[in-house]
Chains A and B, each alone.
Chain A
């Protein structure tokens, strides 16, 4: 099935550093989304980038999309302890906007 795969699986950094997570996917997409999940909670939408966009910013977040390489990256600048969470990329599946598939996530730990 169409599925994004995040890399790395886990990332540990110090407060103030930047964190970069990557996502690769298999087939063409209409859009790619990033979500955050705090431990024991539901997922929260962070940002959506469409297939005709190359870069998007939202606060301390920067997302890039390279459709030729079928990959995306999420950069969190000046990280804070509160950014500690799992981050997931999600893509539509098989050309269908109805089926959003998620990768396995990157666990980010930001140490104070």
Chain B
């Protein structure tokens, strides 16, 4: 099993450009989420999904869109990139939407916005 796979690993954008960070999991997990990690700020939840067709906002959703058309995929879209979105982005999933359980993380996507 590959677990949680994120692409690309590195990306440089110019201000105003758009892009999509891809996340796929092969564990048939209901729950998927996106976090951003910034120095001194820890990890902050951007958006999450409890199943196909269902998404909701986290702590810092502004500037990001998500969709969940399949159980496996949860892409994160930046419609008009800003330097403040320079960060490391992590996708994470867990088996069941409700209840407790460990999160499985991808290896991260490092985004720089110039």
- Give A contacts to B, CB under 8 Å: 1, 3, 30-31, 33, 35, 40-45, 48, 50, 88, 90, 92, 97-105
Q: Knowing A42-B105, A99-B48 touch, does A48 contact B41 (C-beta < 8 A)? A: no
B106 interfacial contact with A, CB 8 Å: yes
Interface size bracket, B side: 20 to 34
Which residues of B are in contact with A by a Cβ distance under 8 Å? 4, 31, 33, 35, 40-45, 48, 50, 56, 58-59, 90, 92, 97-108
Q: When the two chains form their complex, are residues A43 and B90 in contact, meaning their CB atoms are under 8 A apart? A: yes
Q: What chain A residues lie within 8 Å of B40 (beta carbons)?
A: 104
Contact of A30 with B100 in the complex, beta carbons under 8 Å: yes
In Å, the complex CA distance between A41 and B76 comes to 19
Contacts between chains A and B (CB distance < 8 A), count? 61
Say whether B108 contacts A88, CB under 8 Å: no
* A48–B100 touching, CB < 8 Å: yes
Residues in A with CB closer than 8 Å to B43 are: 43, 88, 102
Please tell me if the beta carbons of B56 and A1 are within 8 angstroms of each other in the complex: no
CB pair B100 A88 closer than 8 Å: no
